[in-house]
Structure 1
Amino acid sequence: MLLGRLRDPFINHRHRRLFHVLRVSLALAITFAIIQVLPFEHSGWALVSTAMVMGNLPHIGGVLDKGRQRLAGTILGATLGLALIMLHLPPWGIYLGALLGIAACTWVVFPGRQAYSGLMFSVSLLLVIGDGNQAFSVALWRATDVLLGTLVGIAATVLFLPQKATDLMRFMLADCLDGMAQLYHAHTSATSAPDLDTRNLLKSTSRLLVKQRGLSDAIHREGRLNRTDVDELISYQRRMLSTIELLLETHWTTREGHSCINAMKGLREQQHTLARGLGTLALKVRTGQSIDFSITPFVLQPFAELAMSARGKDERVLFSPSGYLWLNRELARLAIATAERLGRLERLPSKRLHNRAQRRGLLRTTPYDNKEGNQDGNSPH
């Protein structure tokens, strides 16, 4: 029963820092036990490797990617180092061979995503050759220690209360969509909660976007989403957030623009419908459901004549109502595109997450299902 609760993705997400500390501690304890029981020489390198491969990466995808690069770099670097030692070259010959190997490796990994693998190639090679007079057995033991520590770190991450980067992406995506729903709902409702700090919420939502981008490689390594999927989702979120920020930060310069927007009957209802759509989308992502619903498009035709005919006291045409309507339509268009993109990701929904959400009673309506919506016609502008 306790193990089942600990495997709950919602609990895992909420306590991911604690679980990561436990994983690192367990991995180091296992590595220490192995080097105490078995006659490993230079065994301190095994502990160092365990700590380095886990590092500050709590999720499976990150450790698998880093571990794979570490294993590849270690094996190739150690192999070259052992080969140089077996050739019985003088110290300067070993150093020259190592220098050429590191230069070639640096050239190869420079334009790609394998920089850590290149680093481990260099570290392993230099570790194996030592001062150029390294005994073959010492070099072999050091390479073995690095491999042992790396494998223990990977195993501990995968087997002990594993945390997936894909799950973290789901929660961050849901939180970002929910934050945008709150921001947009506050913007369009004069009766929104007075304690909602839109500026801080905007900053925290922006930080979620930055964190999602950092998960791209780890998610790709887990095999459910690829880098293109993640990049497209982040792009949609970034553009929606920028549009909402424009709505929040734009100040109309004339009273006539205010009055024109307030006179658009049905505008607030469409805005609240869009806010509810964003909230529903966030709920479905957070609870692992299939994205099988459509967000209602924003219809501008009923307001076109009023917007185009709006004029100021000097009889000049007012452009602010048209611009305001365009921003709302653009936000709705991006929300629709995001929902459609999510709906095409067959491997994004999670039965495990959905089942846990049902047990927790999380499959409820979105908090934006009210219909208060500025019935008095007051605009935040």
Structure 2
Amino acid sequence: MSQYRAFAIQHTRLFYMIRISFVMTAILLIVRVFELPYGYWALITAVTILGTIPFIGGVLTKANQRVWGTVIGGAVGLALFLVPEQYHWTHHVLFLGALLVAMYFTQEKYAYAALMVAITIVVVAGGGPADFDAATWRILNVAWAAVFSVLSSVFIFPSRATTHFLYMLEQFLQQSAKYYHQHNQHMHPNGNPDPSTPFEPLHADKLSALIDQQQNLLPHVQKETQAHSNLYTNILLIEKRLYADLEALISTHWDAQQGKDKISDMPGLMETKEALALQFQQLAEQVANKSVNAVLLEDISLLQLIPKGHDELRDDDSDISYFGYLWLNREMARQFAHLTEVSSKLFRYQ
């Protein structure tokens, strides 16, 4: 990953505030220089579109719903001005009915658009049948400010959810390699701790936090990459499986298991596990460079290990732990291969 991109990800809020400052300053200058009536509605529009969601996908979605909500609400509100001014009570009754219908749909799929319809109806027609000029200006100010906010988000230090997602994938792989390596060192025959020392299990808390952040980003990622959004979903699912396997592996007190000796004595196990940890680190570097080579199952040495002959495995209790440990490691290897396959497809489409 380039130094600028890494800096931009680590200082997202700084670039967000720069973008917001530019948009607000530009809109305020336009409103004041051209003395636009009800210009504060342009500022309100920028705040609602750019607020809370800094990513392009979220901004486009909110802007799209806001514009359509404003158009529909404006059309309904302007239609109320067809009621003659002397029938002002009819205007108010229809206004209340339209408002209630719009509020009903705020509990449906396009809740934000419905809310904008309701707000626009209030803005346009809430002042009564004599407020037509103000209604027109409010609609125009919302429309041009929405377009300006979207263009600013796209071209002024744009923040893409996909970039953040992939950066967290890179961090996930680096942390996985680190946890796995620590576990391997703990399991090494020459690195066993003092038996009298209380067992303190490792926990992959950082992996869990990264997955939670990626889960929050996923809706915005899907909006930015609709054609290939399933690949990002699959990557997150694989990460969750890897986290579950690794968490079980590093949090279990294997020294207390009856199969511990069989695990330690298996030829080549330690070397192949360390090779897999290295492959995790290499994949992180490939993700950073946006060029991933798919790894085949037969290319992972851990999956080529063959346990000892069944004639030597007659202790059921030790066998359970022994094969359970092998299964967790092999399952991690399989999920790793799957992750390289999906990631390689993703970068081919970019």
Question: TM-score of the superposition, structure 2-length normalised?
Answer: 0.85
The CA deviation string for residues 159-195 of structure 1, in whole angstroms up to 9 with x for no partner, is 1122222211110111112111111111112489x9x
> Counterpart of 1:146 in 2: which secondary structure?
helix
1:173 alignment partner, one of 169, 176, 181: 169
Q: State the alpha-carbon separation in 1 of the partners of residues 311 and 202 from structure 2.
A: 29
2:117 alignment partner, one of 95, 118, 121: 121
Q: State the alpha-carbon separation in 2 of the partners of residues 307 and 231 from structure 1.
A: 44
Matched, 1:323 2:329: no
Structure 1 range deviating more: 183-192 or 122-131: 183-192
The structure with the greater share of residues assigned to helix is 2
Q: State the alpha-carbon separation in 1 of the partners of residues 129 and 246 from structure 2.
A: 65
Alpha-carbon distance, 1:307 to partner? 10
Counterpart contact for 2:65–2:113, Cα < 8 Å: yes
Aligned to 1:69: 65
1:244 alignment partner, one of 229, 246, 271: 246
2:42 alignment partner, one of 40, 46, 71: 46
Matched, 1:302 2:306: yes
Counterpart contact for 2:292–2:344, Cα < 8 Å: yes
Q: State the alpha-carbon separation in 2 of the partners of residues 337 and 211 from structure 1.
A: 22
2:289 alignment partner, one of 287, 294, 297: 287
* Percent identity over paired residues: 27
Counterpart contact for 2:81–2:132, Cα < 8 Å: yes
Specify whether residues 232 and 292 from structure 1 end up closer, same or farther in structure 2 by C-alpha distance, changes over 3 A only. closer
Counterpart contact for 1:213–1:231, Cα < 8 Å: no
> Counterpart of 2:24 in 1: which secondary structure?
helix
Gaps of at least 5 residues in structure 1 are 350-381
Q: State the alpha-carbon separation in 2 of the partners of residues 182 and 253 from structure 1.
A: 21
Specify whether residues 187 and 136 from structure 1 end up closer, same or farther in structure 2 by C-alpha distance, changes over 3 A only. same
Structure 1 range deviating more: 291-300 or 28-37: 291-300
Alpha-carbon distance, 1:318 to partner? 3.6
Specify whether residues 316 and 35 from structure 1 end up closer, same or farther in structure 2 by C-alpha distance, changes over 3 A only. closer
Counterpart contact for 1:69–1:117, Cα < 8 Å: yes
The CA deviation string for residues 282-318 of structure 1, in whole angstroms up to 9 with x for no partner, is 111112224344463332652243797163xxx8554
Alpha-carbon distance, 1:144 to partner? 1.8
Specify whether residues 35 and 145 from structure 1 end up closer, same or farther in structure 2 by C-alpha distance, changes over 3 A only. same
Alpha-carbon distance, 1:72 to partner? 1.6
Specify whether residues 247 and 99 from structure 1 end up closer, same or farther in structure 2 by C-alpha distance, changes over 3 A only. same
Counterpart contact for 1:288–1:348, Cα < 8 Å: no
Q: State the alpha-carbon separation in 2 of the partners of residues 54 and 198 from structure 1.
A: 44
For 1:328, give the aligned amino acid.
N
- 1:209-220 equivalences under 5 Å are 209-220=211-222
Specify whether residues 224 and 169 from structure 1 end up closer, same or farther in structure 2 by C-alpha distance, changes over 3 A only. farther
Question: TM-score of the superposition, structure 1-length normalised?
Answer: 0.79
- 1:1-381 equivalences under 5 Å are 8-88=4-84, 89-103=90-104, 105-106=105-106, 110=108, 112=109, 114-133=110-129, 135-190=131-186, 202-223=204-225, 226-252=228-254, 254=256, 256-294=258-296, 296-297=299-300, 298-299=302-303, 301-305=305-309, 309=313, 311=315, 318-347=319-348
Alpha-carbon distance, 1:127 to partner? 2.1
For 2:116, give the aligned amino acid.
M
Indicate the RMSD between aligned Cα atoms, in angstroms. Answer: 2.8
Task: Say how many residue pairs are matched.
Answer: 332
Structure 1 range deviating more: 232-241 or 154-163: 154-163
Q: State the alpha-carbon separation in 2 of the partners of residues 102 and 345 from structure 1.
A: 41
Alpha-carbon distance, 1:263 to partner? 0.6
The CA deviation string for residues 172-230 of structure 1, in whole angstroms up to 9 with x for no partner, is 111112111111111112489x9xx9857x22221221221222232233337643222
Aligned to 1:369: none
Specify whether residues 41 and 323 from structure 1 end up closer, same or farther in structure 2 by C-alpha distance, changes over 3 A only. same
Specify whether residues 183 and 253 from structure 1 end up closer, same or farther in structure 2 by C-alpha distance, changes over 3 A only. closer
The CA deviation string for residues 22-69 of structure 1, in whole angstroms up to 9 with x for no partner, is 001111001101101123212112111111211132222221122112
> Counterpart of 2:78 in 1: which secondary structure?
helix
